[in-house]
Chains A and B, each alone.
Chain A
Amino acid sequence: DAKTTQPPSMDCAEGRAANLPCNHSTISGNEYVYWYRQIHSQGPQYIIHGLKNNETNEMASLIITEDRKSSTLILPHATLRDTAVYYCIVRVQKLVFGQGTRLTINP
């Protein structure tokens, strides 16, 4: 599975859009980009995934660059409950977690 690189931490003001970047320059053609988040002492929560096209659901939007070497997760209107560790993972079969980005939403 390809490796991903994420900033270790980010801050965002409540009500603003949170944009979380992820680099996956060695991604192969059949690997999906997945995003999960983990709130302290809970199991990871699925957010969104995509292969080539941009995706949007009720939680977030996923923007994948045309060369697929990077992606951005967008939380359009961040709330305090969005404070969590966000994991970007490229996957063929199994999810292998990196260190993720610790996102803190500030009031």
Chain B
Amino acid sequence: GAVVSQHPSWVICKSGTSVKIECRSLDFQATTMFWYRQFPKQSLMLMATSNEGSKATYEQGVEKDKFLINHASLTLSTLTVTSAHPEDSSFYICSASRGPQGAYEQYFGPGTRLTVT
């Protein structure tokens, strides 16, 4: 149990276009979902936290108008990278949790590799 999927697993897009990444919890209801970004040879950096039905909370330095997050249901969250540029190329990883508190495990998706040309 506790499987999280992401789609697509990799995507290449042209500079200036927008890309949507989906994150789904397949066998549990995720009250809270998280989006991370990871550059090569670096650790994961938390971008934002989203709770179902409410606006996402973004970490300091993350542009909310550029990285649009929607958590419309208990099993689906989407991250849209708008007007992508080469510096947005990264490994994007989502995670899902049954609750926001520390007592609940976060389960991670396999990641989406975005390359902006």
Which residues does A use to contact B, with CB under 8 Å? 30-32, 34, 36, 38, 41-46, 49, 87, 91-100
Contact = CB atoms under 8 A, between A and B. Distances in A.
Contacts of B110: 42-43
- The main secondary structure of chain A at its interface with chain B is loop
Interface stretch (B13-21, B41-49, B64-72, B74-82): B41-49
Interface string B94-117: 010000111101111111010000
Contact of B101 (A93, A96, A98, A100): A93
B56 interface: no
A91 B34 CA distance: 14
15 contacts: A30-B102, A34-B102, A38-B44, A41-B91, A42-B110, A43-B110, A44-B44, A46-B107, A87-B43, A91-B102, A93-B100, A94-B46, A95-B34, A99-B43, A100-B43
Task: Determine the main DSSP class of B at the interface with A.
Answer: strand
Interface string B4-42: 101000000000000000000000000000101000000
Contacts, number: 56
A43 B46 contact: no
Contacts of A30: 102
Most buried by B among A36, A42, A43, A46: A43
Nearest to A96: B46
A49 B101 CA distance: 13
B108 A45 contact: yes
Nearest to B101: A93
A43 B112 CA distance: 9
Contacts of B101: 92-93
Given A41-B111, A43-B111, A44-B93, A94 B49 contact: yes
Contacts of B4: 43
B108 A44 contact: yes
B105 A94 contact: no
A97 B43 contact: yes
Contacts of B6: 43
Nearest to A30: B102
Chain A CB count within 10 A is highest, among B4, B43, B49, B109, for B43
